[in-house]
Amino acid sequence: MVKIRLKWRGEVWETEAEPQECLHTVLERLQLPVGTEILTAKVGKTIHELSAPIDSHSNFELLGWESPEGKYVFWHSSAHILAEAILSFWPKAKLTIGPPIENGFYYDIDFEGNGPTPEDFPKIEKKFLELASQPEYFVRRRVSREEALAYYKDNPYKTELIYELEGEEIFFYESGNFVDLCRGPHLWHSGPIKAVKVLSLAGAYWRGDSQKPQLTRVYATSFPSPALLEEYLHQIEEAARRDHRLLGKQLDLFSFHEEGPGFPFWHPKGMRLLNTLQEWLRAKLLSHGYEEIKTPIILTQRLWEQSGHYENYRENMYFTQIDEEPYAVKPMNCPGSTIVYRTHIRSYRDLPLRLFEFGLVHRHELSGVLTGLFRVRAFTQDDAHIFCTPEQIQDEIASLLNLIEEVYAAFGFKEREIFLSTRPEKYIGSLSLWSQAEEALESALKTVGMSYQVNPGEGAFYGPKIDFVVRDSLRRRWQLGTIQLDFSMPQRFGLTYIGSDGQPHTPVMIHRAILGSFERFIGVLLEHTAGELPLWLAPIQVKVIPISEKLFDYAREVAAALREAAFRVEVDYTNEKLAKKIRLAEQEKVPIIWILGAREAETRSISIRDRRLRQQVQGVPLSEAIQTLKREALPPGLSEN
């Protein structure tokens, strides 16, 4: 017998079981909600299926829908049921792979002809629910390579996967009448799956290779209840309404054109937004002891060979020739920063040296992955590189953590997750230096009181890192900032500082970005706020609306006073009716509308329509309104003085 300990929602059960006894039988014996609320288990960092034997394990964390692992096995199992439902209507279709993804799952299928259309979604969903409700039990079976190849003799995709598993164990999962080549993990049975929605169809090349056959990717999602599905579908509708590409057009911020696919064209209002954001962050960085630099966009290919980018990243780089010598357009800013560092002999007294650059970089992305501002070929990183001694790492990281918190709070990102990624299998540098770096990162996180999750083995080859994920107003997750320790690049470029012992030493290089890139961050911010940007950041802060042509002169006077006070203002000189002018200004999501009538012109006042508070105040003296606006439009972290 094996003594086992089970943890479920803060409570603990201790019992005994036979090593070959499956976990679900133990849970049933304890009358725990197996197969309804409990979906899977975890041993350490590994998912342990409920249908798997206990073996020698002694500690199990039981997991439900609320956990990432619970969703993973839920959607992985759902992908199998989706494939089974589709095969019932298209029996000659050839299956490839069907993984879970962040908000559901998909299956890539070769239909060898006409496959499903959106009109077929309801019948697929109906069949899916029929299969899930039986329920279907997921049974894992080890098979020989020969048996697997024989079973899939008519499926070249599965055959290719089987050949790649040479020397590894091969497993089939059987559920109902369906069999699939799969490693798992899965639910015990399909009973918890109560709702499904087939979302869309897309083309996808086999293994992502454009030289290989094109498949049909069927996207879907599933939930433990129809109510959760309805909530998710509402979120999708809201996300579509907030699509930054639509808002960019509606607010006249940016556009994309066939003359430059993947290269954003910033319009005047977009530049006001971009410049305001950069000016605010620049002021904050300068106040935190940073120095700004700017490095060339095009640098010799030899530099990128020395940095390692040419070897590992050249497929994503653009190249050119100057004076018959090969050059590259920079995909990253780091090598340029090292050149600035080595222009002087540095002492330990000069460190830490904090250099930031709003650097324009170019990366070649496939046209199929370009997505508005989220995935572009040219973008500006809010990059910084901090050169410090090993002893300074912890203090610098702690300072960075506080700075990043300040920045995210300024934009209303109240929920965030932090991930500490440690030494991977392939790494450079000594184990002692890695241990010191990981301890410094972890200690800094603890010092500032930030909770975090450890991602073992997920660090970069040159050093451990901290990644920041925020949740927006729709609770979607966005990976923004990163802090990375780098021992490699200072060595590659021969960077040194003179230590207190009078000898040269190699500095540690901290790479960090807070927003990630200005383009992507603006896209995230537009969707987070539905385009209703805070007053200090709005491209047009005040829209002045004279109710008739007779008041245009007073409108010009008001606009001039606002511009003198450094506000971004626009006047509506059209002959439209007042109601339409107001409606158009609100569609442009201008925070403040000032309405001018004959009474306002006579008394040198204005009527204020505040979009943020959804209220209107009449007859406010112009000078008083401007002073109030000055207080309300202060960027976060700045006082009126």
Positive or negative, the Cα torsion across 49, 51, 57, 62? positive
Positive or negative, the Cα torsion across 46, 52, 58, 63? positive
Q: What is the pLDDT of residues 57-95, one digit of tens each?
A: 889 999 999 999 999 999 999 999 999 999 999 999 999
- Helix or strand run (H / E) with residue 363: none
Backbone phi, psi, residue 7, to 5°:
-115, 125
CB 100 within 8 A of CB 72: yes
Backbone phi, psi, residue 332, to 5°:
-150, 160
What local confidence, expressed as pLDDT, does residue 641 receive? 45
Q: Token pair for residue 60?
A: 């199990």
CA dihedral angle for residue 364, residue 367, residue 373, residue 378, rounded to 10 degrees: 20
Q: Directed axis angle between helix 552-564 and helix 622-632, to 10°? A: 40
What local confidence, expressed as pLDDT, does residue 206 receive? 93
Residue 599 CB neighbour total at 10 angstroms: 11
The SS3 call for residue 421 is strand
Q: How far apart are CA 278 and CA 280, in angstroms?
A: 5
The SS3 call for residue 385 is strand
Residue 73: which of 157, 161, 176, 192 has the closest Cα?
A: 192
Domains of the chain by start residue, with CATH: 2-64 (3.10.20.90), 69-240 (3.30.980.10), 254-295+333-529 (3.30.930.10), 542-632 (3.40.50.800)
Report the catalytic residues: 334, 363, 381, 383, 385, 465, 511
CB 613 within 8 A of CB 638: no
CB burial of residue 523 (10 Å; 0-12, 13-18, 19+): buried
Residue 471: which of 235, 124, 222 has the closest Cα?
A: 235
- Give the residue ranges of the chain where pLDDT is below 70: 638-641
The SS3 call for residue 473 is coil
Q: Token pair for residue 112?
A: 């060898």
Residue 551: which of 595, 620, 597 has the closest Cα?
A: 597
Quickly list H helices, 64-166: 68-89, 121-132, 145-151, 156-164
Residue 125 CB neighbour total at 10 angstroms: 18
Q: How far apart are CA 242 and CA 524, in angstroms?
A: 10
What local confidence, expressed as pLDDT, does residue 629 receive? 94
Q: How far apart are CA 422 and CA 434, in angstroms?
A: 9
